Copies of this chain bind each other. A is one copy, B any other.
Amino acid sequence: MKRNAGRDADATRGRILAAATQEFARYGLGGARVDRIAERSGANKRMLYYYFKDKEGLFLASLEDRYSHIRGAEQELRLEHLAPREALRRLVGFTWNYYLEHPEFVTLLNSENLHKGRHMARSARVRPLHLPLLHMLGDILRRGAREGTFRRGIDPMQLYISIAAEGYFYLSNRYTLSRVFGRNLMTRRALREREAHITDTILNAVRREPA
């Protein structure tokens, strides 16, 4: 008896987490419904509480999970082996495409920020995930400066925030932007144009001033 209860447990936990992430992404923390999460995950409502304590615990778990996912994918780019401009170009492309393909990440972050980051404040898991990112970007900038391609004195965090901002804002705010400018921002062509625009903007932002 009790054969691989552990495996089943993990599976249940995983299904709940996946359903929750979807739900939070779609409706925000406040709009998310515990009932819907239970139903979609095929788990009993009581199980959510068993595994995650409460709705907010579940929200935090989603957040951690998604942070871990993007940072993991990022590290697999192995940018330290590429020439600085190329490395930067790849990071920009990756970031844009990640947001595009994982819209739940964007909405999750918006929710957490609406709540002033109070869930992450209680988490020790998120912060460490980001040290490699800054190191990597710092390394690229240093190498670029040394070889004369990039300006000196660029703050890796400021640059990263720009890389993120240019895509994140476009996608996160696409509904209001579409209405406001009367254009569909999500056609294949529009997306291609935005990616090009972002790449240009970021590369222009770091390049050394011409003599």
Contacts and interface: CB of A to CB of B under 8 A. Distances in A.
A56 B51 CA distance: 28
Given A114-B107, A127-B180, A134-B181, A161 B165 contact: no
A187 interface: no
A88 to B, nearest CB: 14
A169 B183 CA distance: 21
Contacts of A113: 110, 172-176
Interface residues of A, number: 55
A204 interface: yes
A176 B120 contact: yes
Contacts of A129: 180
Contact of A127 (B165, B179, B193): B179
A114 B115 CA distance: 14
Interface of A: 27-28, 30-31, 67, 107, 109-117, 120-121, 126-127, 129-130, 134, 155, 157-158, 161-162, 164-166, 168-170, 172-183, 193-194, 197-198, 200-201, 204-205, 207, 210
